[in-house]
Amino acid sequence: MFSRRILIILTGILFASFFVACDGGSSKTQNATLESTTIIQNPTRGVGFQSQSTSKITAMDKEFKLPELLWPTFEYRMIAAGPRHRQVKAEFCVIDEAQGVPFTPGEKVEVIEEARCMNVYHMIPNTSPIRHVMGFTKVRVIATGQEGWTFSKVVRITE
């Protein structure tokens, strides 16, 4: 009788622990603002891999203003990246600038999700695609409820 009571108590504690640990994913929402952002592009830097031996010719640095756009969707794609002698495939978020919807810098947003890619293949009408070494973030504009994906460097966490 005594061991049965202990078994019931231990089972109750186990269930209580399980329910506390699985509380339905009460994840904290991150608030942020969308900002106008300029980055440095350099074709000698390499994309899609990390290497200490990668030399970078700083004279080839050029500023690039990230577009102030939200994309409703994007595509994951494996694309060759790295120096010619060490080509590897890396996962890219592929976007087409023509499908983006403009946003106003300074808009308040909630961060919904981070894409798993760490590189963005940015297709621009009437020009060659650009490869960015950065993530992609899904946000919800608080004022309108509009949701979309944008460059992680455009999203400034305010909390």
Q: Considering only 138-142, 148-152, 155-159, which range has the smallest mean pLDDT?
A: 155-159
pLDDT score, position 107? 97
CA–CA gap between residue 72 and residue 148 (Å, rounded): 5
Asked if 58 contacts 40 with a C-beta cutoff of 8 angstroms, the reply is no
CA–CA gap between residue 65 and residue 56 (Å, rounded): 21
In angstroms, what CA-CA distances link 115 with 64, 71, 74, 112, 135?
A: 22, 13, 10, 10, 7
Residue 132 one-letter amino acid: H
Per-residue buried b or exposed e for 85-122, using 16+ beta carbons within 10 Å of the residue's own CB = eeeeebbbbbbeeeebeebeeebebebeeebebbbbbb
Q: Is the pLDDT of residue 145 over 60?
A: yes
- pTM for this entry: 0.73
Residue 78 one-letter amino acid: M
Asked if 159 contacts 31 with a C-beta cutoff of 8 angstroms, the reply is yes
| Structure confidence by residue, pLDDT tens digits, 73-112 | 999 999 988 766 677 889 999 999 999 999 999 999 999 9
Distance of CA 155 to the CA centre of its chain: 10
